[in-house]
Amino acid sequence: TMAWILDEYSKFHGYSPAVVTGKPVDLGGSLGRDAATGRGVLFATEALLAEHGKGIAGQRFVIQGFGNVGSWAAQLITEAGGKVIAISDVTGAVKNSNGIDIAKLMKHSAENRGIKGFDGGDAVDPTSLLTEECDVLIPAALGGVINK
C-alpha cells in the first residue's frame, strides 16, 4: 500500500520518497523500521533515567502491550540489562519478579497468538498491570486502552 501511495504521488510531483513511511527498502524505506518505535521507547527511557542518574540496567519494567512496540521495547530493554517483570497483551498478562525471559515469551506469543498460557511466570489480571510495583511503566498497548 505504501509503495502504491509513493508511486501515485510521484506521478504528479516527481520521485518523493519522504512523502510516506512504511515503504519497502528498495523504494527508499528504512532498514530497522519494525523495531524503530520500540527502539524509540528505549531511547526516551534512557534519557529520562539519565536525568535521575540512572540507566536501564538494573531497573524493573512493566510493559502494557506486547505488539510491535511493546515486544521490541521489551527485547531491547532486556538486552540493555533491564528486567521486565510484568507484561500484558490482549490475551492476558504475566508476572515474574525475577524477570521474564523475553525471547521465550516472543516464541510463545508467535506460536499461540498471544501471551496467555506462558509458563515463564504467573498469570495475573491484566487490569492490575498498571498498579504493579516497578521502576518504569511503559504503556505500549493500543490507543484508548488506558481510560478513566
Within this chain, do residues 75 and 11 fall inside the same structural domain, yes or no?
A: no
Q: Give the DSSP H/E element, type plus range, for residue 88.
A: strand 83-89
Within this chain, do residues 26 and 49 fall inside the same structural domain, yes or no?
A: no
Q: What is the pLDDT of residue 13?
A: 93
- The answer to whether position 113 is within a domain reads yes
- The answer to whether position 43 is within a domain reads yes
User: Identity (one letter) of the amino acid at 82?
Assistant: G
* pTM of structure: 0.83
Q: Which CATH number covers residue 104?
A: 3.40.50.720
> Considering its fold, how many domains does the chain have in total?
2
Within this chain, do residues 97 and 125 fall inside the same structural domain, yes or no?
A: yes
pLDDT in tens, 39-77: 999 999 999 999 999 999 999 999 999 999 999 999 999
Residue 148, pLDDT above cutoff 80: no
Within this chain, do residues 27 and 39 fall inside the same structural domain, yes or no?
A: no
Joined grid coordinates for residue 146: 488506558
Within this chain, do residues 65 and 11 fall inside the same structural domain, yes or no?
A: no
Within this chain, do residues 15 and 48 fall inside the same structural domain, yes or no?
A: no
Within this chain, do residues 113 and 128 fall inside the same structural domain, yes or no?
A: yes
Q: What is the pLDDT of residue 34?
A: 82
- The answer to whether position 148 is within a domain reads no
Residue 2, pLDDT above cutoff 90: no
Residue 32, pLDDT above cutoff 90: no
pLDDT in tens, 69-102: 999 999 999 999 999 999 999 999 999 999 999 9
Mean pLDDT of 9-30: 86
Packing angle of the helix pair 68-79, 102-112 (nearest 10 deg): 160
Within this chain, do residues 51 and 22 fall inside the same structural domain, yes or no?
A: no
Q: Which one, of 102, 50, 55, 110, lies nearest residue 74 by Cα? A: 102
Within this chain, do residues 20 and 45 fall inside the same structural domain, yes or no?
A: no
Chain centroid to CA 53: how far? 24
**In terms of residue numbers, what domain contains 18?**
1-31
Q: What is the pLDDT of residue 146?
A: 79
pLDDT in tens, 116-142: 999 999 999 998 999 999 999 999 998
- The answer to whether position 99 is within a domain reads yes
Residue 105 contacts by C-beta under 8 Å, 6 or more apart in sequence?
66, 74, 87, 94, 115, 118, 120
Within this chain, do residues 75 and 23 fall inside the same structural domain, yes or no?
A: no
Q: What is the pLDDT of residue 137?
A: 97
- The answer to whether position 119 is within a domain reads yes
